[in-house]
């Protein structure tokens, strides 16, 4: 029986793991968990039974190639943006930041 995530962290973790094509046990081993308990531990994180310490969340993010903020972001579209921005070069991030500031300035001027 598949348990569905009951937490934001759990649903984001499951989505990232599936997107990466990793089974729970492999993900657990990749972050340094014992092979005998790795699948159960990841399952508990995904279902929300347990919340991982921040250090584990950082390890999960690194292996799954997502920013750790992705796991905690309550807005779906913003979470997607975080994933897309992750790994961009500094110059690319600067360009995106400048474009976002232009968009915000236009919105403020429009709403004034």
State pLDDT tens for residues 67-106.
999 999 999 999 999 999 999 999 999 999 999 999 999 9
pLDDT for residue 1 = 56
In angstroms, the CA 55 to CA 47 distance is 19
**The pLDDT value given to residue 50:** 94
Q: Which of 14, 10, 16, 97 is nearest to 62 (CA)?
A: 16
Parse the chain into domains and list their residue ranges.
Answer: 8-111
The Cα–Cα gap between 16 and 9 comes to 10
Q: Does domain 8-111 have CATH number 2.40.50.140?
A: no
CB within 8 A of 32, min separation 6: which ones? 59
């Amino acid at each position: 029986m598949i348990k569905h995530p009951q937490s934001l962290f759990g649903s984001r973790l499951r989505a990232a793991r599936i997107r990466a094509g990793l089974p729970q046990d492999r993900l657990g081993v990749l972050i340094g968990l014992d092979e005998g308990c790795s699948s159960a531990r990841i399952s508990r994180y995904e279902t929300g039974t347990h919340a991982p310490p921040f250090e584990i969340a950082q390890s999960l993010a690194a292996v799954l190639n997502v920013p750790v903020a992705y796991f905690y972001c309550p807005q779906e579209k913003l979470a997607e943006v975080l994933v897309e921005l992750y790994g961009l070069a500094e110059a690319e991030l600067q360009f995106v930041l400048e474009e976002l500031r232009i968009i915000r300035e236009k919105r403020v001027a429009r709403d004034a």
